[in-house]
């Protein structure tokens, strides 16, 4: 999913994320909006001219939890997390 929005304009990326059938589009949309808001606020860039220059998801720390099993044993469950990073840059034209 991140490969599909990389290199697209901000508006196109939002439209694509809105109509994708994946559960992870919610957090990715939130990160993309945050990146554009940071670029607008800190750098004074116009959101209409921004392009997604970098988008990646790396592994994060695993939360270790235990579930009870038969005969008093415990079974370890690892809840995986990830770090989503998106960078935006102004168009070069």
Q: Classify the phi-psi angles of 58: left when phi > 0, otherwise alpha if psi is within -120 to 50, otherwise beta.
A: beta
d(CA 79, CA 3): 24
d(CA 17, CA 28): 8
Q: How many residues does the chain have?
A: 93
Q: Give average pLDDT by consecutive 10-residue segment, the chain, 93 residues.
A: 92 94 94 95 92 95 96 95 95 72
What pLDDT does 91 receive? 85
Q: Classify the phi-psi angles of 78: left when phi > 0, otherwise alpha if psi is within -120 to 50, otherwise beta.
A: beta
- Tokens 């695993």 sit on residue: 62
Task: Give this prediction's pTM.
Answer: 0.83
């Amino acid at each position: 999913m991140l490969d599909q929005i990389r290199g697209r304009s901000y508006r196109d990326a939002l439209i694509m994320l809105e109509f994708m059938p994946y559960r992870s589009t919610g957090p990715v949309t939130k990160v993309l909006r945050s990146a554009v808001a940071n670029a607008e606020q800190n750098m004074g860039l116009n959101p209409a001219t921004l392009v997604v220059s970098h988008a990646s998801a790396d592994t994060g720390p695993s939360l270790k939890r235990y579930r009870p099993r038969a005969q008093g044993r415990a079974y370890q469950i690892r809840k995986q997390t990830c770090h989503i990073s998106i960078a935006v840059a102004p168009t070069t034209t």
